[in-house]
């Protein structure tokens, strides 16, 4: 067992959003997401089979839910998104880049 640090190893090329699994046992997926001005393409919605708990560790982001509710997440904020709750990312900070931890269960 070797400890790791979620703030280390951030790629220098962030032209694409980065999704990195930290742990996946088939039932629970924990991932690090790195966004730098990335958004969900217009008209596209996430409609996931599992619930998702997400926390912003650095930067900021805005999530839009299907019925136009907007949630602005800042450093330290977290939210639980139930399975099949349609949502999209409408904005992420680019400086500093937005660093998320997501738990899918």
List the chain domain ranges: 29-104
How many CA atoms lie within 13 Å of 22's alpha carbon, on the beta-carbon side? Answer: 17
Asked if 69 contacts 53 with a C-beta cutoff of 8 angstroms, the reply is: no
Task: List, for residues 77-93, the tens digit of each pLDDT value.
Answer: 999 999 999 999 999 99
Q: What is the DSSP string of 2-38?
A: ----TTS---S--SS-EEEEEEE-SS-EEEEEEESS-
Counted residue by residue, the chain has a size of 105
CATH number assigned to the domain covering 29-104: 2.60.120.10
C-alpha span between 90 and 81 (Å, rounded): 16
Q: Residue 68: which pLDDT band, with cuts at 50, 70 and 90?
A: confident
**pLDDT at residue 103 in the model:** 98
Q: What is the pTM of this model?
A: 0.93
């Amino acid at each position: 067992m070797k400890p790791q640090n979620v703030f280390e190893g951030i790629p220098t090329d962030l032209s694409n959003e980065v999704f990195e699994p930290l742990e996946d046992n088939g039932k629970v997926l924990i991932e690090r997401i790195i966004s730098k001005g990335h958004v969900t393409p217009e008209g596209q919605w996430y409609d996931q089979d599992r619930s998702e708990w997400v926390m912003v560790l650095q930067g900021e982001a805005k999530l839009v839910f299907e019925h136009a509710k907007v949630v602005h997440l800042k450093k330290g904020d977290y939210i639980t998104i139930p399975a099949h709750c349609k949502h999209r990312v409408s904005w992420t900070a680019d400086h500093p880049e937005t660093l998320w931890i997501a738990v899918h269960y």
